[in-house]
Structure 1
């Protein structure tokens, strides 16, 4: 598969890009609003892989160009940039493209992080509203610790929760998720269930804030 990671210069985008490039044979392209920044980050990721004897090539392009030829488009951007990002690439998406949203709406106060549920019901639902009608949307990778994901020396043991209304799209993202060594994909139902999956993320951040041995905490269900 060809996977475009919009916002692939950020934390979660970096981790997904490195893991897919290192663990799978999928073609990875980094998207950004700035094509030069995307290419520079792609070069950095290639250098990291090369230091491990892996000569996998990673492309970099402006978001619309990155999305236009992809089988799966991961909108790895903050929730407040999600709609603008999807609208910017919408012309390059079609019924054969799966759009993935790992974004979570959060707000912070003196007590810690809290889930900020949008009017659409969840950030995944917000992505589905912004996407063209024929484009299937899957919510995934909300609860993965970005630092742990991006450190290829770390052996992962994490679950990735998937929510979506299109069975074929969910299956495609399941294959992507489980292509990463140590990640298990678990289906959590339709997009109507996305808020429950997304709301785990602020809880995990609060755990990391208050427990020194849980700095890169994720979830694993047994």
Structure 2
């Protein structure tokens, strides 16, 4: 499968790119608003994988070109750039493509991080509103610690909650998630439940900030 990571030069994009290229045979395209930056990052990731004996299929391209090459497009950008990013690549998305949003809206004050719920109800709902009607939207990967994900020496042993209204798209994203060793996909229902899922991220950040040795804390459901 061909996967594009829009904003794949950032923290969560880096982790997903490395893990998919390391653990699976999927083709990965790192996207950025700047094609040269994307190509440089893709080369950096490929060098890391080569040092581990992995002949990876990873490339870099401007976001729209990356989206045009993919079956699954992950918008690995901050919540405040999400709709603009989706709208910029909308013409390159084909019917049947799957768009994945790991973005979470957050705000910080002296007490810590807090979920910043948008008017649409959730950031995943914002993504669904910006995407073409024939492109299914799935929310996933919100609760993963980026540093842990990008460290290929680190065992994950965590779950990611997946929300979406299209059953086939949810199955596709869940299978992609579980292709990463140590990551389990857990369905949390439809996009109407996305706010509850996204709200876990500031909670985990607050736990990490207030407890020694829990910088890369994740969740696992038993």
TM-score by length of 2: 0.99
Whole-angstrom CA distance in 1 between matches of 2:77 and 2:86: 10
1:133: how far off? 1.0
1:37-56 matched pairs, under 5 angstroms: 37-56=37-56
Report the Cα distance in structure 1 between the residues aligned to 2:48 and 2:94, rounded to whole angstroms.
33
Matching residue of 2:191: 191
Residue correspondences, number: 222
User: After superposition, what is the alpha-carbon deviation per residue over 1:41-95, rounded to whole angstroms, capped at 9, x for unaligned?
Assistant: 0000001001111121311000000001200000000000000000000001122
Structure 1 regions of 5+ residues with no counterpart?
Answer: none
Between the aligned partners of 1:90 and 1:84, the Cα distance in structure 2 is 10
Distance 1:105 1:2 in 2: 28
Mapped partners of 2:41, 2:57: distance in 1: 12
Q: Which runs of 4+ in 1 moved over 3 A?
A: none
Scaled by the length of structure 1, what TM-score is found?
Answer: 0.99
Correspondence for 2:153 = 153
CA distance in 1 between counterparts of 2:54 and 2:68 reads 27
SS of residue matched to 1:214? coil
- Which residue number in structure 1 is paired with residue 70 of structure 2? 70
5+ residue gaps, structure 2, are none
- Distance in 1 (alpha carbons) for counterparts of 2:136 and 2:150: 27
The answer on whether the counterparts of 2:26 and 2:57 sit within 8 Å (CA) in structure 1 is no
Residue 121 of structure 2 aligns to a residue in which SS?
A: coil
SS at match of 2:216: coil
Match of 2:168 in 1: 168
CA displacement 1:165-187 (0-9 Å, x = unmatched): 00110000011000000000000
Bigger drift between 53-62 and 176-185 goes to 53-62
Deviations 1:98-137 (A, max 9, x none): 0000000000000000000000000000000000111100
Matched, 1:135 2:135: yes
Alpha carbon RMSD of aligned pairs, Å?
A: 0.5
What secondary structure does 1:127 align onto?
helix
